[in-house]
Amino acid sequence: MFEIYKDKSGKFRFRLKAKNGEIICASQAYASKGSCVKGAHSLITNAKKKKSFKVVKNRAGKLFFNVVAANNKVVATSQPYKTENSLNKGIDSVRKNATKKNLS
């Protein structure tokens, strides 16, 4: 399910959570709630395309993924993963959970 919230600076963000409540990925900051909802819709659209998932390794050596739109802008970023297997499960979870029915 999607959770839209205001961060400490007053900007809007969304998180996609799995059924167990774990955060699968989170968005950038948006100035308005409407823009944030549009970002969530972009995640829904782009999660259907495998090519939208870009895997990256951070300085600590942990893997994470970005979901990118057709314009190559990052829509959402995952939490870090220790293994490629767990990262792939995270991608599968986004593809499964990023649906309109989970956006309230």
Q: What is the rounded CA–CA span in Å between residue 69 and residue 75?
A: 6
| The length of the chain, given as a count of residues | 104
Residue 74: in which H helix or E strand, if any? strand 74-78
pLDDT at 104 over 70: no
Question: Which among 75, 82, 7, 22 has a CA at the least distance from the CA of 45?
Answer: 75
pLDDT tens digits for range 62-80: 999 999 999 999 999 999 9
> pTM of the prediction?
0.90
* Domains in the chain: ranges and CATH: 2-102 (2.30.29.80)
Q: What is the rounded CA–CA span in Å between residue 3 and residue 49?
A: 22
